[in-house]
Amino acid sequence: MTHGRSASRTVRVGGLARVEGEGALQIDVEDGELRSVQLQIYEPPRFFEAFLRGRSYTEPPDITARICGICPVAYQMSACLAIEDALGAVIDEPLRQLRRLLYFGEWIESHTLHIYLLHAPDFLGYPGAIEMAGDHRGLVEQGLRLKKVGNEVIETVGGRAIHPVNVRVGGFYRVPTREDLRPLRSSLDEALELAVATTNLVMSFEFPDFSHDHPYLALHNPDEYAVLGGRIASTSGLDAPVAGFGDHIREEQVEWSTALHAHLLEGAHYLVGPLARYALNRAELGGLAGEMVASLGLPEVITNPFQSIIVRAIEVVHACEGAISVIDSYEPPPSPAVQLNPASAVGHGASEAPRGLLYHPPRRTSPPSSTTCSPTSRSISTRTTHSSCRDVSTWSAAMTPASHVQPTSSTRPSTGAPGDGPRGWDRHRGRQPVPPR
């Protein structure tokens, strides 16, 4: 490796830390200019698509959940939506709201894990969360308490916290009673306070001065902040039904990665994830989360990927509020699932996993077959490639890019640092002035 303005060099990282799956990174510089960046996923394919061939249309929710232990609900929901689309099944609103509650639990636990265990150590100067806990034990314990609430929501509605077993095509095997949900209510009140504190924490981080110009792609629903279903939208003007995914996005194999790479048909790379959701659904972000966005002065679009952690925290606030709302208005559905009429058909399904749009391409009910396009590898874009995977293990967290948040002319939001006390947003009084440092 050589240095200097006109130097040529290659940087290789053989094993990326704090990502799901196994990956490497190679950066090539020639005469001082960046020539290529290759994100190499070398973990062997796990063949989940092959597992689904010949299976009953009732089995994908349980099989696809095993793709990821952190976001199994996302795979279950997208699989159910695809099969229900194929069968023409319409899910009753009470069942849909119960699914949203389950999904909110996953957003809470997944985002919190990402923020506190994968991302915060980088900003605070630690190799990992264990080392960070030595100096900030209370901070790590706060994150674990918040994550636990998300797990409790998933366990109560889904049957268990990891790889839920209560989800089925058409609804659930069993629906909870109001009494079952009551213990979650007080836990979610505490979680909401912790989510606000988390937002104040991440607003205190110093971010590298960087932005990108890739379009964002996410589901959009004019009636709510998109989680379950909607239309596929992008900041470059795309507006298409979920069934039109393949008409606008192409996946390709590259020689250096087992993960497929995706791009828009016109050639542009795109990013998914919290920043994409925020850019395309900001107007639908209501309640306390919406108030915080306005009061903290966040822009409509955030192009600094390092600041994705801010939107993750805001989405935790939104998920806590959404879960509370579902519980407060909950009336047990008359039936745990809608009636299904099996037929030979093709369906499409998509939902917003914590790390981005999770699309199940044409799912044929007879003969059974499927493909899965997961979000985490599609979230990583470089100057030369944009990665996408189907059945390859998801990998990602600290690597997932974000949108651009530049609250002021500085890339450092003017809020408090860890341990500085209740600076930033106070849910009872709004944003508080911060003395200069």
pLDDT, tens digit, 9 for 90 and up, residues 381-391: 332 222 222 22
Residue with the bigger pLDDT between 271 and 424: it is 271
pLDDT at 209: 94
Domain chopping of the chain, boundaries: 9-41, 48-431
Mean pLDDT of the chain: 83
Task: Provide the residue count of the chain.
Answer: 437
pLDDT at 408: 27
Which residues, 6+ apart, have CB-to-CB distance to 113 below 8 Å? Answer: 70, 143, 147, 397
Digit-coded pLDDT (tens) for 180-190: 999 999 999 99
Domain 48-431 top-level CATH class: mainly alpha
Q: Tell me how far CA of residue 212 lies from CA of 25, 35, 280, 381, in angstroms.
A: 19, 17, 16, 10
Residue with the bigger pLDDT between 426 and 323: it is 323
Residue 420 pLDDT > 80: no
pLDDT at 6: 53
pLDDT band at 370 (very low <50, low <70, confident <90, very high): low
Which residues, 6+ apart, have CB-to-CB distance to 36 below 8 Å? Answer: 26, 27, 28, 383, 384
Digit-coded pLDDT (tens) for 315-356: 999 999 999 999 999 999 999 999 998 888 889 999 999 999
Across 349-376, b (16+ Cβ under 10 Å) vs e yields bbbbbbbbbbbbbbbbbeebbbbbbbbb
pLDDT band at 432 (very low <50, low <70, confident <90, very high): very low
pLDDT at 437: 29
Q: Give the Cα separation of 311 and 84 in Å (integer).
A: 31
What is the identity of the amino acid at 297? G
Alpha helices in 15-89 (DSSP H): 48-52, 60-64, 72-87
Residue with the bigger pLDDT between 105 and 369: it is 105
